[in-house]
Amino acid sequence: MSTKTHSSDVERSIVDRIRASPFLTELLSNRIAVAGLSLIVGLFAVAIYARLVYDLDAIVATSFGSNPSEAAPSAQFWFGTDGQARDIFPRVLYGAWYALKFGTATVLASTVLGITAGIVAAYYGDLTDNVIMRTMDVLLSFPSLLLALALVTIFPESLGLWRAVAALTLVYTPRFARVVRGAALKVLEDEYIEATRALGATDPRLLIRHVLPNCLAPITVQSTLNYGLAIIDIAALSFLGFGANPGDPSWGMMLANGVEKGLFSGAWWWSFFPGLFLALTVLGFNLLGDGMRDALDPRMRDAVD
Amino acid sequence: MVSKRFIAKRLLLLGPVLFGVATVVFAILHLSPGDPAIAIAGERASQEFVEQVRSDLGLTDPLWEQYVRFLRNTATFDFGESYQVRRGTAVGDILADRLPITIELAVLGQIAGLLFGLPLGILSAVKQDTLTDHFSRVGALTGISVPIYWSGPLLILLFAQVLGILPTSGRIGSTYFIDSKTGFILIDTLIAGNLAAFQSAARHLVMPVIVLGVYSMAFISRMMRSSMLEVVRQDYMRTARAKGQGAKTTVMKHGLRNAFIPVITIIGIQFGSMLGGSVLTETVFEINGIGTLLVEAINKSDYPVVQATVLVFAFMYTIVNLLVDITYSVLDPRIDQ
């Protein structure tokens, strides 16, 4: 009973703190962040629209006979058609759904794994901390795309884009673990943690209810910045041939085919539009992440003379 | 003063990290479903022959024996022979051919990034929250966001196909035959005293260096901006101004030097994405460095080449970061735990 009252007090104080914090106001007055947010909202709208309106099987199938092959953009085919006579426009829109689906899966999985590793390392310390963090250090000593390339080979080809998701999750986890461990170490020094423990809270409860909520700010920034990176890296793996299956409406795959088969024979639209959407998406996340970092860092606010 | 203790500590840490890196590479290759014995013997080989190859490779030995052998070979830079990419050639020799190509590209990209990133970052900081600042920040973020495998082909289309002023791909015109002495094509052509060849090689490097350089420029200018903003608020800056020094001199003389220190760390961290970027750049511009080597080796299940290439990449990254840390401790003696 007393634990309950106590923890709900803590929760209320957290809510108050978030309300009082200038973070959101600061973020929304940051033009760069707002520009990023608008791009991302637009992307979500496009992705949901494509998912609801288009039939995946229809846009994956070749359309010889019904469409001309490699036709330039026109009133009928806004983004032209590809070498398999598929209309590129719905495929590019559906690519937004793919990017968000697989990007979200990657960021979510690496965030959860990273939080677990980071909090456990910070809380138990000593040997546990050393084993976990030294493993993370080793993973961080590989250039990320190269580690992903090597890891992708572990997973069976039939997994398609999920292969890229699995590999990149392992690549990104250490970054989250580091950020979370640092934040958690700071939180664990606070007196209320000692108090909660004295009241008999179990380890998992203490970590999930009390430590985690106070580490959310740095985690959010890291996730946002990593979102863009995940989307661009998934596409890069597909471009190099380790990810999407041929025909999949993924931007990386469309780019690979478009560059290889269309670009230099004149069919520039085949790779141009998927690339444009990919770049705008990643830009959106980078703008938002950058704005968030500014909003969280009060030292960056004052102007110079 | 350089802290000898700090450097010694960093050097001591290098061992365990490289050991860990080698272990991860060993684990990855043993977890991947492909069978090196079949990769060598061929899909249609008889069962006995595949078994023969497997025991010749030592793959029938207990796992720990294979692991110990792998570590010993790695420590002596013995990476075995290639199965597929260049059958029967020592992997070390293949790497010696290909590594300089990637290093040349990455170093030039890094230099281009510094050359453009530093001034951009300074400009952005000095003119904080003006249109110039917004423009250069959004420009930098755009640079990081545009995928190399999109901007690269578009540059080729524009400069090589439409305008015809730069070559499409490769490292040098096909009419030049240059002895490979250092492996760095710009240096080799100069050693040969062939200026026309040097010019051709330089022209081939323009686009790859631009796409890589933009990437690193974006990171560097961003870091330079925030570091500069931090520095200009320091007391010694105000003191300098109070003594009557002009704004420009203060920024250049006191600001720059101190602001540059944190930027050095970003160069190390960012060198990793530079190496990753070189894989994509080499693929787009058909440059046969170790990036394209890795992709080819993975596609052909050439395990010795895959493991050596990944190890070399991780090794380079670790060494660069070590050098960066040491430089940092030289420039900022407070770094000494």
B25 is a domain residue:
no
B230 is a domain residue:
yes
Question: Which residues in chain B have their CB less than 8 angstroms from residue A146's CB?
Answer: 275-276, 279, 294, 310, 313-314
Query: Residue A20: is its pLDDT beyond 60?
Result: no
Question: Which residues in chain A have their CB less than 8 angstroms from residue B321's CB?
Answer: 141
Question: Which residues in chain B have their CB less than 8 angstroms from residue A286's CB?
Answer: 141, 144-145
Residue A224 CB contacts under 8 Å (≥ 6 apart), including other chains: A285, A288, A289, A292
**How many Cβ atoms sit within 10 Å of the Cβ of residue B257?**
11
pLDDT at residue A16, as a whole number:
60
Which residue type occupies A243? G
Question: Which residues in chain A have their CB less than 8 angstroms from residue B299's CB?
Answer: 241
B43 is a domain residue:
no
Note the pTM of the prediction, 2 decimals.
0.86
**How many Cβ atoms sit within 10 Å of the Cβ of residue A234?**
29
pLDDT at residue A189, as a whole number:
83
By the 8 A CB rule, do A173 and A136 touch?
yes
Number of domains into which chain B is organized: 1
Secondary structure element (H or E) that encloses residue A113, with its range: helix A88-124
Q: Nearest-CA neighbor of A291 among B217, B123, B263, B222?
A: B222
| In chain B, residues 118-157 whose CB comes closer than 8 Å to chain A | 125-126, 128-129, 134, 137-138, 141-142, 144-147, 149-150, 153-154, 156-157
Preferred mutation among A39, A133, A142, A255 to probe B, highest tally of B CBs within 10 A: A142
**How many Cβ atoms sit within 10 Å of the Cβ of residue B202?**
15
Query: Residue A281: is its pLDDT beyond 50?
Result: yes
**Cross-chain residue pair A145–B277, CB shorter than 8 Å:** yes
The whole-angstrom separation of Cα A77 and Cα A84 is 14
Query: CA of A7 to nearest chain B CA: how many angstroms apart?
Result: 38
The whole-angstrom separation of Cα A286 and Cα B131 is 19
Strand partners, A177: none
The whole-angstrom separation of Cα A283 and Cα B141 is 7
**Cross-chain residue pair B141–A135, CB shorter than 8 Å:** no
The whole-angstrom separation of Cα A37 and Cα A46 is 14
Question: Which residues in chain A have their CB less than 8 angstroms from residue B284's CB?
Answer: 259
- Tokens 């890291």, located at residue: A222
**Cross-chain residue pair B279–A241, CB shorter than 8 Å:** no
A156 in B contact zone (CB under 8 Å):
yes
B119 is a domain residue:
yes
Q: Provide the residue range defining the domain that includes B198.
A: 91-331
pLDDT at residue A17, as a whole number:
56
Query: Residue A3: is its pLDDT beyond 60?
Result: no
Query: CA of B185 to nearest chain A CA: how many angstroms apart?
Result: 25
- Tokens 């796409």, located at residue: B211
Rounded-to-10 torsion of CA A287, A288, A290, A291: 110
Q: What is the ipTM of this complex?
A: 0.86
**How many Cβ atoms sit within 10 Å of the Cβ of residue A175?**
21
pLDDT at residue B57, as a whole number:
79
B29 is a domain residue:
no
CATH number of the domain to which B178 belongs:
1.10.3720.10
A240 in B contact zone (CB under 8 Å):
yes
Q: Which domains does chain A have, with CATH numbers?
A: 24-59+77-298 (1.10.3720.10)
Query: Residue A10: is its pLDDT beyond 60?
Result: no
Q: Which residues of chain B have pLDDT under 50?
A: 337
pLDDT single digits (tens) A54-90: 988 888 887 777 788 888 888 888 888 888 878 889 8
Query: CA of B14 to nearest chain A CA: how many angstroms apart?
Result: 11
The whole-angstrom separation of Cα A59 and Cα A77 is 13
**Cross-chain residue pair A153–B28, CB shorter than 8 Å:** yes
Question: Which residues in chain B have their CB less than 8 angstroms from residue A277's CB?
Answer: none
